[in-house]
Homo-oligomer: A and B are copies of this chain.
Amino acid sequence: MTPGCQVEPRLVEELYINIDPIQAGGRLTGDAIKAVNAYADGYSVCDFCTKPFRLDYIRKPGLDEFHRDLARFVSMDAARVVPGARRGFQAIARTYVEKGDPVLLTSLSHYTEFLAVEESGGVPCEVPAREGNIIMPDAVADTVEEVTRVHQRAPRLMFIEHVDYSYGNVHPVKEIARVLRQYDVMLAYNGAYTVGIMDVDGRDLGADFVVGSGHTSMAAPAPSGILATTSEHQGEVFRTTRVKGDRTGRTFGIKEVEMMGCTLMGSTVIGMMASFPHVQIRVKNFQKECDHANEVALALVSIPGTSIESEMPRKHPLTRVNTTASFDRIAKTHKKKGFFFTTALKERGITGIIPGATRVWKYNTFGLSDRQNSHVATSFRDIAHECGLLQG
C-alpha cells in the first residue's frame, strides 16, 4: 500500500563545489535545513496564530520580530515575506500600474519584472545600458523624458536591479534614485542578487521599495522573498482589505490585498528565519566574496582568448565570461564537444555551469571557502593547460 518515494536524492552540494550562477546565494545554512525539517508541515508556524490572524503578528515562532528585523536589515520601515521576489514586483505593479501606464525597466531587467508590468497592463520601457553594461543616471533621465513625450504621461515607477542577473554588474542606484526623484518617479529596487549577499541600505539608496529573493540570496527555501517599503508607501502596497460580503456583511480584518492574506506559512518562512542570523553576518564579509570573484576572474583572463564580460574588477561574485576564443575553440574539435569542459570541471569536483557551455557562460563564487575558491581558479587554468590553451 505504501508507494516508494520516486524522487532521487539530490547531492549536488554534498559532492561538488557548486558555482551555479543563480544557486550560490540560496544554498541553505545548516540551521535552515534543521528548521525546515522541524517545520515542514504546511501550517506549522500557525499553531499559535491568534488575533489579528496575520502571519507577521505570530509570536511563536517569532515571525513578528523577524518581520521587523527584515525591515531594519534593508533600512526600510516595513517588510513582508513573499513567495519569491517576483511576487514582490507583482504587488508593486498591481498597486501602482494602470492599463497603458509606461513603467521604466532597463535593458538588463529580469523577465519577472517584465511579467509584473505586463500582468498589470503597463508598458515596459527599457533604459538602455551604456558601454560596459551599466545603467547610467543620464540614460535614466533621457528615457524618462522620451517616455513622457511618447506616452503623453510620465512614468510613475522604475524597477532597477542593483546587481543584474546577466553580468553581475553593480549599477549606480543611488544616483539613479536622485534623478528619479526629480521626475517624481518611484524606485523599486530589485535586490535579488544583493539582499542577503551584501549590505543594502534602502533608505540611503533612495529606494521606495526593496525586493529581495530568499531562495536566490538569503539561504532560504523556495519560493521566498521580501518586499520592504517606506512608511510613505506602506499603506498603499500593504493596504488592507476593504471588501465586504454583500449578504453576510463579513469583512476580513487586516488581511493585506496584495499579499493575498498570509504568504509563507511553514518551511519557507522558517528557513528564511533560521538562516537570517547567518545572512546578517555574511553581508559584512562581502569584500571577501569580491576578492574570491576577482581571483577566479583573473585566472580566467590569464587564459589566452578569454575575456570577462562583467565589469572588472569584480564587485559581485556573479560573473559572465566569454571563452569563445579559448575553450570553445577546443570544443569545436573535441569528441565530447562543449561537454569536455564541464566534464573536466566535474572531474575536479566543480559543478554549476550549464553542461556543454563553452562560449558565454556565468558562474558565481559566492560562499566558497578560500581553498575551494583557489581550487576553482586553479582548475580553470589546469584545464586550459591540458587542452593546450596555456603553455609552460
Contacts and interface: CB of A to CB of B under 8 A. Distances in A.
Interface string A33-67: 11111111111101100000000000001100000
Contacts of A245: 105, 107, 109, 114, 124, 126
Contacts of A35: 5, 7, 9
Contact of A252 (B2, B26, B114, B277): B114
Contact of A10 (B38, B112, B247): B38
A347 interface: no
Q: How many copies of this chain sit in the oligomeric assembly?
A: 2
Nearest to A35: B7
Nearest to A94: B119
Contacts of A109: 245
| Interface SS of A by simple majority | loop
A315 B389 CA distance: 72
Interface in A169-225: 214-216, 220-224
A40 B36 contact: yes
B119 A258 contact: yes
Nearest to A86: B260
Contacts of A243: 114-115, 117-118, 124
B261 A115 contact: yes
A11 to B, nearest CB: 8
A263 interface: yes
A263 B84 CA distance: 8
A136 interface: no
Nearest to A109: B245
A261 B23 contact: no
B115 A266 contact: no
A117 B7 CA distance: 37
Task: Tell me which of A42, A44, A105, A111 has the highest count of chain B C-beta atoms within 10 A of its own C-beta.
Answer: A42
Interface in A230-286: 241-243, 245-248, 252, 255, 257-258, 260-261, 263-268, 270-271, 273-274, 277-278, 281
Interface of A: 1-13, 20, 22-23, 26-28, 31-44, 46-47, 61-62, 83-84, 86-87, 89-90, 94, 105, 107, 109, 111-112, 114-119, 124-128, 214-216, 220-224, 241-243, 245-248, 252, 255, 257-258, 260-261, 263-268, 270-271, 273-274, 277-278, 281
